[in-house]
Structure 1
Amino acid sequence: MEKPADTHHPIHDLLRRRWSPRAFADRPLEPDKLKSLFEAARWAPSSNNEQPWRFIVTDRKENRDDFDRLFACLSEGNKKWVHLAPVLMLSVASLNFEDDGKPNRHAMHDTGLAVENLVLQATALGLQAHQMAGFDVERARTDCGIPPGFEPVAMIAVGYPGDPAVLPEYLQERERKPRERRPIGESVVSGQWGRRFD
């Protein structure tokens, strides 16, 4: 299912096509494609080239125990559809600079950049990726053995597009709903806060 954005100005086709569907095909993800996603993430920009991102990745069929451990951290709403995804991962940010141990206030931003690279690469490969904030952060930290100084950021389900008919009715409606974003003028100002950008 394709749902390209209805943009007001031209943007790259990958950006138009990227969205966060919930219907996944029951089809394994090839290891070379999975590695390609992490290669894309690896080349994201970061403050001082710190590369604060880390990923915990699980394959539903290859290691069900690890998949179930991450799955158990999800909110009940996400559990209703994520069980169909072949790959589930958790992005994690290193909160301090490696060279001096000082806080890296850009760690979350830079981890987000790496995830966006991963998501766009997924789109380029005919895959889909859905990022989720709905998970128990403390349970993920404990169950996955995440050490101090690292922060769980987002869960990400990855796989091939599936048929929305496999979803509960209310999620099928959300899948078919047109994508929307607020106008540029509501997010961008000119020079200082409150000055309209035209």
Structure 2
Amino acid sequence: MTTTGRAANHGADPLFLERWSPRAFTGETMPQDALNTLFEAAGWAPSAFNGQPWRFVYAHRETPQWEPLFDALIPFNQMWVKNASVLIFVVSDRFRRREGAEPSANPWHAFDAGAAWGYLALQAQMLGWVTHGMAGFDKDKAFAAVGADPEQFNVEAAIAVGKLADPSVLDEPYRSREVPSGRNPVSSYAFEGRLKV
């Protein structure tokens, strides 16, 4: 059993069980070096043909860059993200780009960007920071805020990063949700030979 109350049935490392997605943040400033460590860890994620299609557009709270990114979030998320230290948007390049060659479609761009986000989240956990990934944002506003061409890139998700605060800093309905969630058993999503539905 971990501090989150989660337990592994097949020996998964406690690092995975300790990581969860809180909404309560202290609002303290995140040093750029620490944030760069998260990005560096993300950069070591596997990717098809080593294309590394992930891009991270970020802003520290209380900087001019924060407002456009924050404004792209839906109001439900703005209510708690306002206390995060950093807001990140995950963008993926839809094309493989190699010097001397025309760009070619990369069907795995989102899959690879998701792997990079996972590495970033685990590195944050190891450094004592917490992350919360979100799909709750206005796509058009997000594209404009990050400066991405929808014909070339996709905005995959937003991520709030910060130090964990006591749930009492949250209003409802967020406060009562501030607990680590459980997971389905391995048998419900891992199948030998053929998918079972």
* TM-score calculated relative to the size of structure 1: 0.91
1:164 aligned onto 2:163: no
Deviation sequence 1:52-109 (CA, Å, 0-9, x none): 0000010013x2x311111111111111100000100100000011134221111000
Q: CA deviation at 1:26?
A: 2.2
Q: Aligned AA for 2:148?
A: I
Task: State the partner residue of 2:39.
Answer: 38
Task: State the partner residue of 2:97.
Answer: 98
Moved over 4 A (4+): none
Q: How do 1:19-34 residues align onto structure 2 when only pairs under 5 Å count?
A: 19-34=20-35
1:153 aligned onto 2:152: no
Task: State the partner residue of 2:116.
Answer: 114
* TM-score calculated relative to the size of structure 2: 0.92
1:70 aligned onto 2:66: no
RMSD: 1.5
1:125 aligned onto 2:117: no
Deviation sequence 1:112-153 (CA, Å, 0-9, x none): 111111100000000001000000111111233212301111
CA distance in 1, matches of 2:137, 2:105: 25
1:192 to 181, 186, 194: 194
Task: State the partner residue of 1:179.
Answer: 181
CA distance in 2, matches of 1:152, 1:158: 18
Task: State the partner residue of 1:49.
Answer: 50
Q: Aligned AA for 2:30?
A: L
CA distance in 1, matches of 2:27, 2:143: 28
Q: Secondary structure at the match of 2:58?
A: strand
Q: CA deviation at 1:190?
A: 1.1
Q: CA deviation at 1:5?
A: 2.6
Deviates more, 1:119-128 or 1:179-188: 179-188
Q: How many residues align?
A: 191
CA distance in 1, matches of 2:175, 2:52: 37
Mind listing any 5+ residue stretches in structure 2 that lack a counterpart? none
Deviates more, 1:158-167 or 1:143-152: 143-152
Task: State the partner residue of 1:12.
Answer: 13
CA distance in 1, matches of 2:145, 2:47: 28
Task: State the partner residue of 1:138.
Answer: 140
CA distance in 2, matches of 1:190, 1:124: 33
Q: CA deviation at 1:194?
A: 2.7
CA distance in 2, matches of 1:167, 1:71: 18
Q: CA deviation at 1:169?
A: 2.6
